[in-house]
């Protein structure tokens, strides 16, 4: 391969810059979100359906009109209120700010006093 071919491969392997618009938030669900354990230690498989169960994900990018969420925050949302998107082989979700139920962040100072 010539030098130009390897440059193109490196460009394909690098991350693609994405700018979110309006009140949209791009999140990524951790891979460990599959199987989980109950408080009693019972293993719950990833295929088990739990009605109205909310999920946590990390905010990867936020639009200019988002006020409560910053990149890197962990957000709580309803998995039914989402749009899935594939960016260079990685799965992401697009949410609206109004679909976020809670934000877990290091920077929150005047919160409710809850710690997760």
Give me the domain span that covers residue 76: 50-81+97-116
* Residues 6+ positions from 86 with CB-CB distance below 8 Å: 92
What's the total number of domains in the chain? 1
- pLDDT of the residue at 76: 93
Instruction: For residue range 83-116, list pLDDT tens digits in order.
Output: 889 888 888 999 999 999 999 877 656 655 555 5
**What is the Cα–Cα distance from 30 to 60, expressed in whole angstroms?**
12
65 in a structural domain: yes
Q: Does residue 44 sit within a domain?
A: no
Q: Tell whether 116 is covered by a domain.
A: yes
Would 107 be classed as within a structural domain? Answer: yes
- Identify the top-confidence range among 25-29, 34-38, 108-112: 25-29
Q: Which of 19-33, 45-59, 82-96 has the highest mean pLDDT?
A: 82-96
- Pairwise CA distance, residues 64 & 38, whole Å: 38
Domain-embedded: residue 22: no
Report the predicted TM-score, pTM, of the whole model to 2 decimal places: 0.65
Q: Is residue 36 part of a domain?
A: no
Quote the distance between the C-alpha of residue 82 and its chain's center.
11
Is residue 90 a part of any domain in this protein? no
């Amino acid at each position: 391969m010539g030098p130009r071919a390897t440059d193109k491969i490196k460009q394909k392997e690098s991350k693609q810059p994405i700018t979110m618009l309006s009140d949209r938030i791009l999140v990524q669900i951790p891979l460990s979100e599959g199987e989980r354990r109950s408080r009693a230690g019972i293993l719950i498989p990833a295929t088990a359906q739990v009605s109205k169960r909310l999920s946590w994900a990390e905010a990867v990018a936020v639009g200019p009109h988002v006020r409560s969420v910053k990149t890197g925050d962990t957000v709580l949302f309803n998995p039914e209120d989402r749009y899935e998107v594939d960016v260079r082989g990685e799965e992401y979700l697009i949410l609206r700010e109004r679909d976020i139920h809670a934000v877990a962040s290091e920077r929150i100072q005047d919160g409710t006093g809850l710690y997760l």
